[in-house]
Amino acid sequence: MRLTARGLGHRFDDQPFLFRNVDLDLEAGRTYAVTGPSGSGKTTLLSILAGWVRPTEGEVDRGDASTVGWVFQNPHGVFQRTALDHVSLPFIAAGSSRADADRHASALLEDFGLGHRAETRFSALSGGEAQRLLLARGIAAAPALLLVDEPTAQLDPLTSATVNAALGAAAGRRSIVVIATHDAGTRDACTDHIDMATFA
């Protein structure tokens, strides 16, 4: 699975361009860190890749990358549902039995360091645990393109480290994973780096 972008540029109304001449070749099984100063267009680029914003210049070819998942900066879940419930649901929605869904979900929770929290309600999870849970749920849904916006922005350094370790577990799977971040640890956890400062 592959997503390509050629000559992307974007600005809002008559404002200066956020970025121009962005060429990308994104492949499933890899994680891409999108870095750059505030205002460089990191989140805007994610929105363009998702097809939610039309670029001012250039085009995106999603090929067969038609499904999109997004993990937002502030994790949201169903307070009374367990961590296992959150990750099992995408498997059930895809047609798995509850038993098979729970088995696959349990394996993913282990990958993201949450195996011991499987039966814990979302409301009892720490911020870092909740963020890792939603990353696991995003992977469970197996979108062609998984977008993650500033996953460590609200977290302390120790908790950020646990989330960054979990991002490493996202590589090598079926999705193209693109992560907007200011965090050097997040950047280093990814397989590839897109520096928006080079497209200013």
The Cα–Cα gap between 107 and 161 comes to 21
Over 90: is that where the pLDDT of 3 sits? yes
The pLDDT assigned to 135 comes to 87
How big is the chain, counted in residues?
A: 200
- Is 39 exposed, middle or buried, given 0-12, 13-18 or 19+ CB atoms closer than 10 A? exposed
Comparing CA positions, the residue from 151, 143, 136, 70 lying closest to residue 106 is 136
**pTM to 2 decimal places:** 0.86
Handedness of CA 10, 16, 19, 20 (dihedral sign): positive
- Cα Rg, the chain, nearest whole Å: 17
143-170: average pLDDT: 84
Looking at the chain, the whole-number percentage of residues with pLDDT higher than 90 is 62
The domain 30-51+66-195 belongs to what CATH superfamily? P-loop containing nucleotide triphosphate hydrolases (3.40.50.300)
In this prediction, residue 159 has a pLDDT band, given cuts at 50, 70 and 90, of confident
**pLDDT tens string 29-75:** 899 999 999 889 999 999 999 999 999 999 999 888 788 999 887 77
Return the number of other C-beta atoms located less than 10 Å from residue 44's C-beta. Answer: 21
The pLDDT assigned to 24 comes to 96
**pLDDT tens string 94-145:** 999 999 999 999 999 998 889 999 999 999 999 889 988 998 898 898 888 9
Helices (H), 27-142: 42-50, 83-93, 98-111, 127-140
